[in-house]
A and B are shown apart, each in its own frame.
Chain A
Amino acid sequence: MKRQRILTIFKMEMRKLLRTPMFLFFSLFFVAMLVLIFGFALSNVYGWGPEKSIFEQMVPGLFAYSGILTIFTVASSVLGDRDNGVQRRMNTTPINSGEVMVGQLLAYTIIPIIQTVIILITALLIGFRPNISVAGIVMVFVFSIFLSFCSVGLGLITATIAKDAKAAGGLAFIFIVPQQLFGSFIYMGEAVKVVGYAMPSQYVTDALYRIFYGTTLTDVNIWIDLLAIVIISLIIYFIGLKLYDKYKNG
């Protein structure tokens, strides 16, 4: 493992995000925009229960939703690299897949941190007032990072299935839509709640809801959610990496 190669992959991933308008919008600003819209529209609407407004109930899921969208950016991005031949060219250099993996994970640790900061600031500006400790804020970042790893894995699986970058953009929604409906900011009712537990994002939404609304970190449910998302993320990430490794030469 060479630090020089890992940092080069990390820098390239960050530049890709910052210099590709579509990735920048979907990664950093789309969900912040949803927070603004829902904040204005639903801050004083109490359709889902008497204690909290619909917007307050949606906020934890919106954090998770931003992580889910990473599937789309990863799938489009890695297939773009394959389509323009960069992936094949890299395979003729001495870099190994471990160095690529660490560089990539480093980038997808930083990106959810930026996402979380932007969404949190936007939500606070529009009147969201969580009952959260400093340790709780740290846990929000931890959950976001692990959901990001999971989404990178699902993005790589999408890239394996899709023929090109354009197709990947569409196919990514196979993994995005179910998580959006059953495991993020949309309340589908108690009857389908059980479906949510098949969605990685549900564990993040559930934990963030508790953390934002005053549950202390001694609550075992938060740690169960964390354990679940860590296990799911690592499994999905390594499946994605293995599958994509087979097909990357296209």
Chain B
Amino acid sequence: MLKSKKNETKSPAGITNSNSIEVKDLKKHFIGKNRFNDVKAVDGISFNVKKGETFGLLGPNGAGKTTIINILAGLLKPTEGTAKVGGYGLMKNLNEVKELISVCPQEAAMYPFLTGRENIEFFANMHLMSKEDINERAKKLLDLLGLFEASRRKTKEYSGGMKRQLNLIIALINEPNILFLDEPTVGMDPRVRRKTWEFISSLDNQDRTIILTTHYIEEAEALCDRVAIIDFGKLVGLGSPKELMEKHDSKNLEDVFLKITGRKILEGI
């Protein structure tokens, strides 16, 4: 599925800019107890994400994908480099950035003693949504993912797949301009994964930027307008799946990754 968009809309900051995210020479180094344990999780990465684009960060586990998301969501400070989200610099305007974004983390981050519905309300209230908006939006999202009935139960009773789906609903409740999905379908069975892909694809119809990390090749091919291939903290490929496949004369992104890095993407997992 190939999509190409180039929107020239006004950002919430009032800045006319076609990029939702601008990353320049981003580095994140974790210092270990000795120099052998130092980790260059992100090592000089630059890329832009256009408004309304679904942008994939593809790479094996430990490649640095989640670190990039954590920096862009304001959870980590970069060692070097700059990043702008929604036109706002992360260092200077983190509060404004947080108004625009939502993060669906890898782990099912929710309170086990609250019901699905209460978890949704909790995070919606963090964004100061009105009760009417919360009710309307929660019902719509719960219906779409078939979780409406289960939303009255405490989440500690949910299966792993249900938790992952609720994780996604929580991330969408505030209708974010920029949505970070960190391995959104990991741990889901193939049927639920397929359903979740359809759901994520349907979000693409709206004017929302999605940054998706994954090590599932099919996921990146099915959902992303463009992908950045990351390995050992470095950007080794950037473009639409079709462009990358043509450029490297490959049948799929797995082949592209193999040709660029000399190893299979799953070897890193």
Q: Check if B103 sits within 8 Å of A92, measured CB to CB.
A: yes
Q: Check if A92 sits within 8 Å of B114, measured CB to CB.
A: no
Q: Check if A85 sits within 8 Å of B118, measured CB to CB.
A: no
Q: Which residues of B contact A85 (CB under 8 A)?
A: 105, 107-109
Residue A20 lies at the interface, judged by CB distance under 8 Å to chain B: yes
Q: Check if A89 sits within 8 Å of B105, measured CB to CB.
A: yes
Tally of A-B Cβ pairs under 8 angstroms = 68
Q: Which residues of A contact B126 (CB under 8 A)?
A: 5, 8, 90, 93-95
Residue B111 lies at the interface, judged by CB distance under 8 Å to chain A: yes
Q: A2-B128, A85-B109, A86-B110 are in contact. Are A92 and B74 (CB under 8 A)?
A: yes
Residue A216 lies at the interface, judged by CB distance under 8 Å to chain B: no
How close is B210's CB to chain A, nearest CB, in angstroms?
Answer: 15
30 A-B residue contacts at CB 8 Å? A2-B128, A4-B128, A5-B125, A5-B128, A8-B122, A8-B125, A8-B126, A12-B114, A15-B114, A15-B118, A16-B111, A19-B154, A20-B113, A81-B111, A84-B108, A84-B111, A84-B112, A85-B107, A89-B105, A92-B73, A92-B98, A92-B101, A92-B102, A92-B103, A93-B123, A93-B126, A94-B99, A94-B126, A95-B126, A249-B76
Cα A91 to Cα B102 in complex, Å, equals 11
Interface size on B, residues (CB 8 A): 29
Residue B264 lies at the interface, judged by CB distance under 8 Å to chain A: no
Residue A88 lies at the interface, judged by CB distance under 8 Å to chain B: yes
- A-side residues, CB < 8 A to B, are 2, 4-5, 8, 12, 15-16, 19-20, 81, 84-86, 88-96, 249
User: Which label, helix, strand, loop or mixed, suits the secondary structure of the A interface?
Assistant: helix
Q: Which residues of A contact B153 (CB under 8 A)?
A: none
Q: A5-B128, A15-B118, A249-B75 are in contact. Are A88 and B98 (CB under 8 A)?
A: no
Within 8 A of A (CB), among B106-163: 107-114, 118, 121-123, 125-128, 154
Q: Check if B113 sits within 8 Å of A84, measured CB to CB.
A: no
